[in-house]
């Protein structure tokens, strides 16, 4: 069993982790708080508390939002400890068949591609497609899915199948070194929200940056890892790092348009490797340095902000921005997306943009959906109060949760990734510039 006491003994019981803990906010019990989790974990390790159904229920209620880690004076990795006790739970109680099937898809691209194609063909049989929300609404009560629930709709072709592996920009200046980046797209943006990848490709072309789309990339492993399936997690870590090693010296960055994938590839891989795969330490250190969230990299390593400021924007957007937990809390990435969005319109702040939306992972979205509903409604009502046309975040998991809960609270704001909003405005600006040029002739 994992040595939980090496961390739990460092807890000074200050309680700073409790006020903004996601599960404690909707279930205010000391047991379901970071401080309570740490005490229980120590008890489980020492054999004083059985790892029974009650303990399983408690440990699976954590949203893994990282709020506790971000405010802890001793930086205790409570999320890492929860992930490890879920491994013990999985080994003792087994992982639900539907989860095992899903994790199989994550580690076998051919199977996921097949299911996605079939899903696109037959999705209208059980769901009503709502294109404006990029979603489908369940027509019936299905296993684990209530009638009327919104889920991301399937696309005709995935992002990875849509583009060639190499996209060289013909406009690159031959007198200067060519810039080249790779894209790690993430499963949701690959199969459901393909507009995110489209926008990223177009923005990089706009910046005259060559693109490499690694076709053999697999899921980062976050869904399996957060559920406790370490066997699948390790398989995906090994595959992705070994594959990244074949091209990492040929690109200046690996851009990831998903907060959760970015955190998994950088932070969670690091923690897992330190404890379970020490032979990958050096390789991961080398690769991790080149992995970036998209808006962070575009803001800090290109002149996109300056070029956006020069565009003639005919229709400035009004947007409110939600800080995805795996960017805001894990990396402190908050200003970069706002700085870019402020160049194409007005960013209107909601009451608490850092408040977790309540997605929580596959277990909370299925077996414990009542918890996601409670937290999601809080976020939905908060966003509803803002007078804006769009809500944005750099996370497709947040997109699923926020879109669903805006629907429930009766708010018609549309969720779009920052990259989508930026590219749409670039297109408008370029179109106006061309129009102005014709009129002046």
Give 269-301 as a DSSP string: HHHHHHHH-GGGHHHHHHHHTTEEEHHHHHHHH
What are 22-62's pLDDT values in tens digits? 999 999 999 999 999 999 999 999 999 999 999 999 999 99
Closest residue by Cα to residue 276 from 37, 42, 83, 411 = 83
Instruction: Indicate the pLDDT class of residue 173, thresholds 50, 70 and 90.
Output: low
Rounded to a whole number, what is the distance in angstroms from the first to the last CA of the chain?
76
Does position 113 have pLDDT exceeding 60, yes or no? yes
Phi, then psi, of 173 in degrees rounded to 5: -75, 115
CATH code, domain with 48:
1.10.1060.10
- The predicted pLDDT at position 161 comes to 97
Q: 136 to each of 94, 122, 129, 131, 400, how far by Cα in Å?
A: 31, 12, 4, 8, 11
Distance CA 21, CA 34 (A): 7
Number of domains in the chain: 2
Cα 178 to its chain centre, rounded Å, is 30
Task: Quote the pLDDT of residue 393.
Answer: 98
- What confidence tier does 174 reach under pLDDT thresholds 50, 70, 90? low
Domain boundary among 50, 69, 93: 93
Nearest residue to 258 via CA among 360, 326, 329: 326
pLDDT confidence of residue 172: 53
pLDDT of 441 strictly over 50:
no
User: Does the CA dihedral 333-336-339-345 come out positive or negative?
Assistant: negative
Contact at 8 Å (CB) between 73 and 67?
A: no
Residue with token string 């005259």: 208
Does residue 300 register a pLDDT over 60? Answer: yes
Q: Which of 93, 115, 140 is the last residue of a domain?
A: 93
The residue segments making up the domain with residue 51 are 5-93
Give the separation between CA 255 and CA 246, rounded to whole angstroms.
16
Residue 88 token pair: 């013990």
Would residue 338 count as lying in a domain? yes
pTM: 0.94
Q: Residue 339: which CATH number?
A: 3.40.50
CA 356 to CA 376: how far, in whole Å?
A: 8
Residue 171 confidence (pLDDT): 63
Final residue in a domain of this structure, among 93, 123, 140: 93
Within a domain: residue 133? no
- Mean pLDDT, residues 171-195 taken together: 88
Q: What is the pLDDT of residues 56-96, one digit of tens each?
A: 999 999 999 999 999 999 999 999 999 999 999 999 999 99
Q: Look at residue 10 and tell me if it is in a domain.
A: yes
Which pair of tokens denotes residue 207? 């910046």
Q: Are strands 135-138 and 150-152 parallel, antiparallel or unpaired?
A: antiparallel
- What pLDDT is recorded for position 28? 95
What pLDDT shows up at residue 434?
A: 52
Q: Please say if the pLDDT value at position 119 is more than 60.
A: yes
Confidence of residue 437 (pLDDT cuts 50, 70, 90): very low
Q: Name the average pLDDT for the chain.
A: 94
* pLDDT value of residue 440: 35
Q: Is residue 211 over pLDDT 90?
A: yes
What's the Cα-to-Cα distance from 26 to each of 21, 125, 290, 358, 371, rounded to whole Å? 9, 35, 38, 10, 8
User: What is the C-alpha separation between 268 and 219, in angstroms, rounded?
Assistant: 14
- Please tell me whether residue 321 adopts helix, strand or coil conformation: strand
Residue 400 located in a structural domain: yes
pLDDT at 154 over 60: yes
pLDDT for residue 150:
92
Please check the confidence at residue 435 and state whether its pLDDT lies above 60: no
- Looking at the predicted structure, is the pLDDT value of residue 170 above 90? no
Domain annotation covers residue 435 = no
pLDDT higher than threshold 70 for residue 99: yes
Closest CA to 83 of 280, 276, 272, 270: 272
Residues 6+ apart with CB under 8 A from 323: 329, 334, 353, 354, 393
Helices (H) and strands (E) in the chain, counts: 24, 12
């Amino acid at each position: 069993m994992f040595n939980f006491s090496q961390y739990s003994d460092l807890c000074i019981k200050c309680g700073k982790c409790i006020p903004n803990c996601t599960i404690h906010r909707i279930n205010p019990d000391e047991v379901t708080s970071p401080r309570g989790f740490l005490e229980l974990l120590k008890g489980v390790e020492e054999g004083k508390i059985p790892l029974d159904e009650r303990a399983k229920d408690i440990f699976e209620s954590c949203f893994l939002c990282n709020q506790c880690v971000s405010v802890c004076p001793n930086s205790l990795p409570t999320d890492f400890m929860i992930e490890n006790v879920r491994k013990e739970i999985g080994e003792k109680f087994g992982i639900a068949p539907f989860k095992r099937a899903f994790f199989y898809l994550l580690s076998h691209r051919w199977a996921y591609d097949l299911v996605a194609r079939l899903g696109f063909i037959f999705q209208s049989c059980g769901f009503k497609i709502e294109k404006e929300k990029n979603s489908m609404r369940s027509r019936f009560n299905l296993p684990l899915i209530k009638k009327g629930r919104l889920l991301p709709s399937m696309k005709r072709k995935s992002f990875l199948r849509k583009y060639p592996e190499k996209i060289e920009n013909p406009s690159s200046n031959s007198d200067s070194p060519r810039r080249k980046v790779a894209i790690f797209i993430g499963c949701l943006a690959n199969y459901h929200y393909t507009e995110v990848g489209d926008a990223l490709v177009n923005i990089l072309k706009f910046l005259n940056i060559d693109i490499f789309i690694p076709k053999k990339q697999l899921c980062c492993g976050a869904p399996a890892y957060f559920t406790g399936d370490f066997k699948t997690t390790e398989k995906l870590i090994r595959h992705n790092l070994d594959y990244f090693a074949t091209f990492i010296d040929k690109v200046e960055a690996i851009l990831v348009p998903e907060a959760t994938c970015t955190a998994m590839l950088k932070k969670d891989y690091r923690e897992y490797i330190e404890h379970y795969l020490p032979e990958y330490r050096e390789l991961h250190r080398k690769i991790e340095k080149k992995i970036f969230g998209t808006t962070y990299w575009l803001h800090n390593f290109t002149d996109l902000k300056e070029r956006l400021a020069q565009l003639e924007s005919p229709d400035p957007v009004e947007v409110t921005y939600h800080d995805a937990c795996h960017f805001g809390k894990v990396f402190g990435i908050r200003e970069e997306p706002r700085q870019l969005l402020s160049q194409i319109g007005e960013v209107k702040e909601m009451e608490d943009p850092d408040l977790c939306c309540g997605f929580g992972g596959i277990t909370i979205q299925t077996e414990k959906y009542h918890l996601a509903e409670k937290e999601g409604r809080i976020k939905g009502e908060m966003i509803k109060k803002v007078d804006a046309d769009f809500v944005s975040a750099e996370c497709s998991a947040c997109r699923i949760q926020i879109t669903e809960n805006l629907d429930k609270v009766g708010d018609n704001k549309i969720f779009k990734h920052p990259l989508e909003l930026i590219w749409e405005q670039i297109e408008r600006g370029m179109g106006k510039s061309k129009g102005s040029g014709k009129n002046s002739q």
